[in-house]
Amino acid sequence: MENIANIFVKSVFIDNMIFAYFLGMCSYLAVSKTVKTSFGLGVAVAFMLTITVPINYLIENYLLCKGAMTWISPSFADVDLSFLTFIVFIAVVASMTQLVEMVVEKFSPSLYNSLGIFLPLIAVNCAILGGSLFMAERSYANVGEAAVFGFGSGIGWLLAIVSLAAIREKIKYSKIPKALDGLGIAFIIVGLMGLAFMGFMGIKL
Amino acid sequence: MSNSPKRSLIDGLANGLGYGFILIVVAFFRELLGSGTIWNYQVVPQAFYDAGYMNNGLMIMPPMALIAVGIIVWIQRAHQQKKEEGK
């Protein structure tokens, strides 16, 4: 139980997808204009990470690793399909994105319209594929830990995009040089937030 | 599909070159200010360090890349604006 809580806190704050690894930056900067749409995208990304990371964990550990298929038959002990890891991970992420896109289109057309091209772009969002690859690299003990890691990373991403959107909504009322307004100031804000999040680095849980 | 494969090829190539150009500009300033080197050659003379100049360790940190890109966006947009006003 303590381990699970550690993984959660670590993935939200210390290994935050945005501020520690700079993954998923494109949609992060492009969609964070208002809190409402950014919250929608954040929930979609968190949901995708929560689903795809445990699915990919199961696929990797029961199909792709060397000797992973011994549960089917002992004669498969030498089979090593790990060269397929990227293709399978991307296929899982893309098919899940299709699913999420259909659900969002059906239940929230306004969110679907405001997200525009960035909803299908979740399929190649580096944060989501990155989550699966970090999961493979860190070799979590069981599927529960992998799911908590995926959920925590998603919550970290949601936290990051909502806080940036909140700052950008407030900063509309400040006097910024006209050329810096919009994208330029967003980059600088993200840089400063990244510097602040570096304070979490080195905390060992 | 309104563009031919040839035009798409040029589009893709130019996008990649633009990306690489910004990458090199950001890396140039970060390396120069952060470690005083360019392409691993020492460019800041030893006399500067003797006189009390120090490398800016902050530039090495990853978030400074974002701030550098932000400043590039600022310069580019200011340039663009001036051009449009001149018309």
3-state percent breakdown (helix, strand, coil) of chain B, nearest 5: 75, 5, 20
Statement: residue A124 has pLDDT above 70: yes
Please report whether residue A24 resides in a domain: no
- Say if the Cβ atoms of B66 and A177 lie within 8 Å: no
Statement: residue A33 has pLDDT above 80: yes
Calculate how close chain A gets to B5, using CA atoms only, in Å: 23
- Say if the Cβ atoms of A194 and B66 lie within 8 Å: yes
List pLDDT tens digits, range A46-91: 989 999 999 999 998 888 888 777 888 888 888 888 888 899 999 9
Please report whether residue A197 resides in a domain: no
**ipTM surpasses 0.90:** no
Mean pLDDT of B23-49: 89
pTM over 0.95: no
CA atoms of B83 and B74, how far apart (whole Å): 14
Please report whether residue A151 resides in a domain: yes
DSSP state of A204: -
Q: Domain tally for chain A?
A: 1
What are the domain boundaries of chain B?
5-86
| Domain ranges, residue A116 | 36-156
- The DSSP code sequence of A31-87 is HTTSHHHHHHHHHHHHHHHHHHHHHHHHHIIIIISTTGGGGT-GGGTT---GGGHHH
- Say if the Cβ atoms of A177 and B70 lie within 8 Å: no
Mean pLDDT of B70-79: 92
At B43, the amino acid letter reads V
List pLDDT tens digits, range A158-177: 999 999 999 999 998 988 88
**Helices and strands counted in chain B (H then E):** 3, 2
Calculate how close chain B gets to A185, using CA atoms only, in Å: 6
Quick one: closest CA in A to B58, which residue? Answer: A195
A122 Cα distance to chain centroid = 9
Q: What percent of chain A has pLDDT over 70?
A: 100
Please report whether residue A132 resides in a domain: yes
CA atoms of A65 and B67, how far apart (whole Å): 41
Task: Give yes or no for A190 touching B (CB within 8 A).
Answer: yes
Please report whether residue A161 resides in a domain: no
Q: What is the pLDDT of residue A91?
A: 93
